[in-house]
């Protein structure tokens, strides 16, 4: 029918799904087309959310400065959006992840604070919290604020129980694993990351499966008990295979 708004929406969802299933080139193409179309028709909310998803993809690829630039473009669009608070919450969550990946804990903490403020303002949207709460756990762990990380984990646990979603449960387990590892609770961390890996596998999210495998590798190799070296190397091989496939996709 040639309706640009509908096409832009379809491209945005296509990009999100292709990213989750590991088809990153297709995801990038779809998201860039979505951004272009939304800009043409002046739909700021759609542009902001498409930028957020593209920024997440670029961060996952290790294109941290490109991802940061894309997220900043999204923030500029979000300032004019009808769903301003929702868009900004998701963008700040993605930016916190980006800055953590860059090793800039101070900046990650600053943008997380902005995201939490936006979340409070619009009443804790479920979709926004799916991005914000895991990022909050990661930032607080990086800041060695384990009590605050525990509080965010509790909110994730409650949401996972409420929505009874495989993906939510996987996110909650992953965050629990991250916190347990930071506390030096290696056995618990392995259990949480293994459960998270199973959940993300069931949900078809290969990138998050790879992140769990990376954590499992580090935990096994650090513990170095009988069988850990073999288990760690096995997990590392699976991680490398997934990331190689994603980099080529």
Q: What are the extents of the domains in the chain?
A: 151-249
Angle at which helices 166-182 and 126-142 pack, to 10 degrees? Answer: 10
Sign of CA dihedral 25, 6, 85, 82: positive
Give the distance from CA 3 to its chain's centroid: 31
162 closest CA partner among 126, 199, 128, 118: 126
Q: What is the pLDDT of residue 114?
A: 95
Q: What is the pLDDT of residue 1?
A: 52
Q: How far apart are CA 198 and CA 188, in angstroms?
A: 16
Q: How far apart are CA 115 and CA 88, in angstroms?
A: 7
pLDDT tens digit string along 39-72? Answer: 999 999 999 999 999 999 999 999 999 999 999 9
Q: What is the pLDDT of residue 103?
A: 97
Overall fold of domain 151-249: 1.25.40
pLDDT tens digit string along 109-157? Answer: 999 999 999 888 776 677 788 889 999 999 999 999 999 999 999 999 9
Assess whether pLDDT exceeds 80 at residue 25: yes
pTM: 0.92
> Contact at 8 Å (CB) between 30 and 14?
yes
Give the mean pLDDT of 219-242: 94
151 closest CA partner among 174, 130, 127, 175: 175
Band (pLDDT 50/70/90 cuts) for residue 248 is confident
Q: How far apart are CA 58 and CA 63, in angstroms?
A: 5
12 closest CA partner among 48, 41, 42: 48
> Contact at 8 Å (CB) between 128 and 119?
yes
Q: What is the pLDDT of residue 115?
A: 94
177 closest CA partner among 212, 223, 140: 212
> Contact at 8 Å (CB) between 109 and 117?
no
Average predicted confidence (pLDDT) for the chain: 93
Q: How far apart are CA 204 and CA 85, in angstroms?
A: 29
Q: What is the pLDDT of residue 124?
A: 66
């Amino acid at each position: 029918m040639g309706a640009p708004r509908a096409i832009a929406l379809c491209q945005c969802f296509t990009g999100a799904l292709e990213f989750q299933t590991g088809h990153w080139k297709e995801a990038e193409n779809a998201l860039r087309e979505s951004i272009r179309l939304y800009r043409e028709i002046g739909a700021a909310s759609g542009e902001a959310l498409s930028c957020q998803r593209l920024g997440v993809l670029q961060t996952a690829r290790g294109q941290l400065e490109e991802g940061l630039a894309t997220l900043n473009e999204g923030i500029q669009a979000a300032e004019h959006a009808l769903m301003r608070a929702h868009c900004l919450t998701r963008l700040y969550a993605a930016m916190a992840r980006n800055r953590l990946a860059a090793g800039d804990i101070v900046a990650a903490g600053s943008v997380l604070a902005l995201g939490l403020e936006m979340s409070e303002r619009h009443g804790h949207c479920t979709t926004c919290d799916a991005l914000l709460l895991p990022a909050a756990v990661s930032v607080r762990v990086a800041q060695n604020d384990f009590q605050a990380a525990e509080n965010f984990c509790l909110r994730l646990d409650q949401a996972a129980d409420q929505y009874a979603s495989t993906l939510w449960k996987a996110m909650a387990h992953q965050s629990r694993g991250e916190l347990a590892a930071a506390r030096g609770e290696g056995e618990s961390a392995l259990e949480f990351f293994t459960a998270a890996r199973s959940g993300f596998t069931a949900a078809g999210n290969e990138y998050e499966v790879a992140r769990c495998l990376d954590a499992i590798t580090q935990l096994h190799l650090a513990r170095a008990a009988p069988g850990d070296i073999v288990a760690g190397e096995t997990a590392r091989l699976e991680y490398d295979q997934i990331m190689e496939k994603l980099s080529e996709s």
